[in-house]
Amino acid sequence: MDNKKLKDVIKSCIEKKNAPGLLRLAFHDSGTFCKKENNGGVSGSITNLSELARDENDGLKNSAELVMKLKEKLPDVSVPDLIAVAGAVAVEICGGPAIEVQLGRKECFKDAPESRLPDENDGPKELQHKFARMGFSAKDLVVLSGAHTLGDARDKAFTDDRLTFSNSYFKNLAKKDLPAHLGRFKSDEALTEDSSLQKYVDQYAADEELFFRDFKESYIKMTNLGFKS
Active site residues: 28
Quick check: 125 binds ligand HEM (CB under 6 A)? no
Residue 37 DSSP symbol:
T
Cβ-based nearer residue to ligand HEM, 5 or 16: 16
Quick check: 126 binds ligand HEM (CB under 6 A)? no
Distance CA 78, CA 104 (A): 7
Q: From residue 71, give the alpha-carbon distance in Å to each of 1, 68, 117, 124, 218.
A: 13, 5, 25, 37, 25
Terminal Cα distance for the chain, rounded: 16
Listed ranges 4-12, 99-107, 149-157, 198-206: which one lies at the site for ligand HEM (CB under 6 A): 149-157
Q: What number of H helices and E strands is found in the chain?
A: 11, 2
What's the one-letter identity of residue 164?
A: T
Please state the closest distance from residue 76 (CB atom) to ligand HEM, in A: 26
Quick check: 122 binds ligand HEM (CB under 6 A)? yes
> What are the backbone angles phi and psi of residue 158, rounded to the nearest 5°?
-70, -35
Distance CA 47, CA 83 (A): 10
Quick check: 153 binds ligand HEM (CB under 6 A)? yes
Q: Which of 52, 86, 144, 205 binds ligand HEM (CB under 6 A)?
A: 144
Quick check: 44 binds ligand HEM (CB under 6 A)? no
Q: Which of 40, 41, 80, 118 binds ligand HEM (CB under 6 A)?
A: 118
Please state the closest distance from residue 75 (CB atom) to ligand HEM, in A: 27
Distance CA 198, CA 204 (A): 10
Please state the closest distance from residue 118 (CB atom) to ligand HEM, in A: 4
Quick check: 119 binds ligand HEM (CB under 6 A)? yes
> What are the backbone angles phi and psi of residue 60, rounded to the nearest 5°?
-100, 0
Residues that bind ligand HEM in the complex, under the rule CB under 6 A: 20-21, 23-24, 27, 58-59, 118-120, 122, 127, 144-145, 147-148, 150-154, 185, 187
